[in-house]
Structure 1
Amino acid sequence: MEHAEFVDHILVQAAAMRGAAVEAGPDAEVPSCPGWTVLDLVRHIARVHARVGEILVAEDITVRPDFPRAPQRWDELLEWWDTALSTMVRRFTDLDPLAPTWMFPGAAERTVRAWARRMAHETAIHRLDAELALGVESRLTFAPEFAADGIDERLGLRAIGDSSAVTTGGTILFHAADAGRAWTMTVRPGQNPEVTSAPDAAMHTDAVVAGTADAVYRAVWGRPSTAVTTGSHELVESLPRL
């Protein structure tokens, strides 16, 4: 996907998330984020957007910026988020997509474009969270190309997560049938997983997570999903969390 497409997705997903959050109200519980209310969810994404906006223009790209403080009151928080989102998107539009930035240690790409991709998927998943907080079944279905890219991005992030809790080993196949994409993740105790594209979705592995790209996308993000897991559920559940 192109940089401009990611920026467009940020705008679309953020607008939809904001609408669902306002409709649900700040005190509504977010079932896909246990212990969070909609207020917590909005504060989280607002702080993320504000932080990324600063990352994009930071002169020292070797230092991890802190998360900014966000207002506590709902109306003030929404206004603060609007400003943070607008600033971040403007910088994504104005800056060279290949300009270097700070990024998580171990990440394959550390550029403005990588952050646009990261924010497109972060915002999309939290849009889903906001819609789930409405207490009704979400009719949202992510397009196969976008969902497949999100699977790819999320698996890459998991591969640089905290491996200290990984005590089992094996290979997992993730298969997004309608996108024609598959990935294998090799897990070893105490090590970061290795992710590669799978040339053959029928290859033997210890576990398989399969479904539409939309379903697998939700599954790798730990959201309610119709993806089907076969084989070692323990192996899938042992994957590093961010």
Structure 2
Amino acid sequence: MEFAEYLEETRKQAAALRAAAVTAGPGAEVPTCPGWTVHRLVRHIARVQAQVVLSFDADPAGDAPRTERPPEDWDELLAFWDTTVDTMLAGLALRGPGQSAWAFAHFSGTSFWARRQAHETAVHRLDAEHAAYGDDVPHLVFDPGFAADGADEVLTVMVARFPTDVTGTVLVHAADAGRAWLVTLTKGVKPRIGKATDIDTDASLVGTADAVYRALWKRPSTALVNGDPALVAALRTP
């Protein structure tokens, strides 16, 4: 996906998240984030995106920029988040891809944040939808290209960050997008993510790109798990 496409997706997913959050109400529980309410969900993404705004002028090799706490009042919180999303997207658009910016782990730059926030917002949009509509959230919310990009991002950015406590191989296949990944797990080291050239693995996660994307983020999904389920469960995300 191109840089501008990530910005457009972020705006679209933020609008859908906001609509679902308002429908659910601030006190509604978020079943996909145990212990969270919709109020906490919105405060979380508002604070994350406020940190992205500060990252543009922060030392890429320095500490995480410290953000102000978003408002507690629901209407003020929504207004704060609206402004934050607009400021973040305007800042990314102004700077363009490949520009300096602080980010977590060993990542940095505006291109990283454009992609990360498109998927951060999309996954939390699902959380708000589940809070508003329970199990009636439709499948195939995300088009195959975007969902496959999200699967790649969660594997290469998130899953690959954390050492695993199991050993084995997992095939991840987003069928309608024609994308597949081989995840090699070795106890005590970080997973290795590569292209799938062999389907003879110890476990597999297969479905539409939308379903695989949701499953990798441990959200309700129609993706199918075959082989050793413990290996798929070991694909750790924050």
- Indicate how the Cα distance of structure 1 residues 170 and 67 shifts in structure 2: closer, same or farther if over 3 A, else same: farther
Q: Which structure carries more helix by proportion? A: 2
Q: CA shift at 1:68, angstroms?
A: 3.3
Task: Report the identity percentage.
Answer: 50
Given the alignment, which residue of 130, 147, 171 partners 1:173?
A: 171
Q: Hey, what does 1:62 align to over in structure 2? A: 61
CA distance in 1, matches of 2:68, 2:168: 39
For structure 2, list consecutive stretches of 5 or more residues without a partner in the other structure. none
What amino acid maps onto 2:61 in structure 1?
Answer: T
CA distance in 2, matches of 1:115, 1:90: 13
Q: Hey, what does 2:234 align to over in structure 1? A: 238
- Indicate how the Cα distance of structure 1 residues 133 and 159 shifts in structure 2: closer, same or farther if over 3 A, else same: closer
Once the two structures are superposed, what CA deviation does each residue of 1:160-200 show, in whole Å capped at 9, x if it has no partner?
A: 4332xx32111111000000000011111111101012135
Q: Hey, what does 1:73 align to over in structure 2? A: 73
What amino acid maps onto 2:202 in structure 1?
Answer: D
Runs of 4+ in 1 over 6 A off after TM superposition: none
Is 1:3 matched with 2:3? yes
What amino acid maps onto 1:100 in structure 2?
Answer: S
**1:106–1:160 Cα contact (<8 Å) kept:** no
CA distance in 1, matches of 2:145, 2:220: 20
CA distance in 1, matches of 2:149, 2:224: 19
Is 1:119 matched with 2:117? yes
For structure 1, list consecutive stretches of 5 or more residues without a partner in the other structure. none
Alignment of 1:89-108 (within 5 A): 89-107=89-107
Q: CA shift at 1:67, angstroms?
A: 4.4
Q: TM-score, normalised by structure 2?
A: 0.94
What amino acid maps onto 1:90 in structure 2?
Answer: A
CA distance in 1, matches of 2:67, 2:202: 39
Alignment of 1:216-231 (within 5 A): 216-231=212-227
**2:21–2:128 Cα contact (<8 Å) kept:** yes
SS of corresponding position for 1:224:
coil
CA distance in 1, matches of 2:118, 2:45: 12
Q: How many residues align?
A: 235
